[in-house]
Amino acid sequence: MDNKRLDILIARIKESGDETAFAEFYELTSKGLFSYLLSIVRRREVAEDLMQDTYVRFRQSVQSYKSGNPAAFLIEIGKNIAFNHIKRAKYETATDFSEWEPVSGEKSVEDLADTMRAAFRIAQSGRKGPVLVDIPKDITAAVCEFTPKKPEPIRTVTTFNEEQVKWAAEIINGAQRPLVYFGGGVRSAASCQPLRDLLKKAEIPATYTLMAAGVVPYGDPMNIGMVGMHGCYTSNRAVADCDVLIAVGTRFSDRVALNPKTFAKNATIIQIDIDPSELGKNVEVDLSIVGDAAYVLNAMLPQIEEKKHPDWMKMIHEWQAQDYHPVSDPTRLMPHQVIGEVCNQCGPEAVYVTDVGQHQMWAAQYLRHAKSRGFITSGGLGTMGFGYGAAIGAQMALGRDQRVVMFTGDGSFHMNLNEACTAVSYELPIITVIFNNSVLGMVRQWQNIFYEKRYSQTDPHRKTDFVKLAEGFGLKGYRCRNLPEFQAAFADAMKQKGPTWIECIIDKDEKVLPMIPGGGDINDIIME
């Protein structure tokens, strides 16, 4: 499909109603349009009827078309017609679960090994996730002869709709202000490199969710920062102003699409995800493609034109100049200083783990994420106490020669600091950086901004001495009140063979900024 040719044909249709031009336009676009409509309604006969209605509407509204992206214009018409049909007919699309394979409950110990193998395969197949294996107590005590087997192959979703991919490529090629928005599904699908290739080839800036930090490395000119509630001004502004949004391996969570009605309201939205149940679930999309991101992107890349978007990138750079940048204070210790110094001393190969709270967002914002699997966090689940156990798991998996740094807050760390005995027993060189503001910082921040400083239950009045407590567990502890003290403490911690804690005393009213309130959009962003 040639956008220039389509623009010429539309111009002839607009000028004189040229039937020959319309016939050629129909021939060039109908296959892709039908595929798109079929993906929505799932019935061929309905899709055929809606396609004809779309071309009728196209003829009626062609005078309003402005050159640039004919595919997006046509797909917008088709989308409206399809969704109106669904509303009228109360037609419900159905997800096909026929290919899903559950773990069956086995009654014999001889079947247990195969059941566990199946569980591991299922957990890693399709959209990765947890699997529950229910083992009766009598089977846990039974005995049988174990027969080793090679691991079962992971079932990868290799199929996708080629016409939809072609259609998506045409929309991207016609975009003037394209933006990629990607999530943790890119990392799960091992599709980091195809995504980077797409950004480079078509000069498309990219923004990401918390779970995708590092997929596009820090310093990459196409990386414009995290999006959402605590994302940067630039990325949230770009979402609001882009004309095509390509969502890859992400689900438009309420921490990103804070107001689904205004999220990317000016854009044609393309969503690529392995899980059909996530397509268009939270935000209405224009084109959805079910498939493994790696396979879809690799199929799309040859169809993407090499392009530059100088005006769009100029706009991006202007927004970046307006972004929030914390100002250092030499008289006190500030989160961005701490995290910057950690990056300076650890380098790009370190693995960073967070607990839940303000420190989690500071880590997401200020770490120089350099690799796709270098940042471990619980996402938006709010699981305080996650961090230390995750750090222990990471250190055990990577070995003692790999640097693991855990960021936590005093509130979160009180949930699981007892795990220090495990880290000491195994002599795991985990460096734990504790942001101690003596309050539950994130909740206090909300009470400060939205509840007129009516603080409630956010100051637990704890008097924990983390240095003495560290010594009690048999590890080394440090306390820092300014940047030079932290620099020295972290350098010494890097030399230790076992775990260390570094307590950083920070102001209790230190905030995570920028911030967009829940239900808001870029117009509601808080920068100070």
| pLDDT greater at residue 7 or residue 396 | 396
- CATH class of segment(s) 1-94: mainly alpha
Structural fold of domain 335-505: Rossmann fold (3.40.50)
User: Mean of the pLDDT values across residues 444-460?
Assistant: 92
Domains 166-324 and 335-505 share a fold: yes
Q: Residue 106 pLDDT more than 70?
A: no
Q: Look at strands 287-290 and 351-354 and give their pairing.
A: unpaired
What pLDDT is attached to residue 88?
61
Q: Give the pLDDT band of residue 280 (cuts 50, 70, 90).
A: confident
Residue 14 burial class via C-beta count within 10 angstroms: exposed 0-12, middle 13-18, buried 19 and up: middle
d(CA 497, CA 509): 35
Q: Residue 1 pLDDT more than 70?
A: no
Q: What percent of the chain has pLDDT over 70?
A: 96
pTM: 0.82
Q: Residue 379 pLDDT more than 50?
A: yes
| pLDDT greater at residue 371 or residue 391 | 391
User: Mean of the pLDDT values across residues 429-451?
Assistant: 94
What pLDDT is attached to residue 121?
85
Residue 380 burial class via C-beta count within 10 angstroms: exposed 0-12, middle 13-18, buried 19 and up: middle
| pLDDT greater at residue 162 or residue 381 | 162
| pLDDT greater at residue 100 or residue 505 | 505
| Number of C-beta neighbours around residue 381 at 10 A | 9
User: Mean of the pLDDT values across residues 303-307?
Assistant: 96
- Do residues 377 and 399 touch, judged by C-beta distance below 8 A? no
Model confidence over 486-515: pLDDT tens digits?
999 999 999 999 999 999 999 999 999 999
* 166-324: CATH number: 3.40.50.1220
Model confidence over 403-439: pLDDT tens digits?
999 999 999 999 999 999 999 999 999 999 999 999 9
Q: Residue 100 pLDDT more than 80?
A: no
What pLDDT is attached to residue 151?
81
- Do residues 519 and 254 touch, judged by C-beta distance below 8 A? no
What pLDDT is attached to residue 189?
86
The domain segmentation of the chain, as residue ranges, is 1-94, 110-140, 166-324, 335-505
d(CA 330, CA 314): 34
- Do residues 218 and 246 touch, judged by C-beta distance below 8 A? no
Model confidence over 132-188: pLDDT tens digits?
888 888 888 899 999 999 887 777 778 888 999 999 999 999 999 999 999 999 998
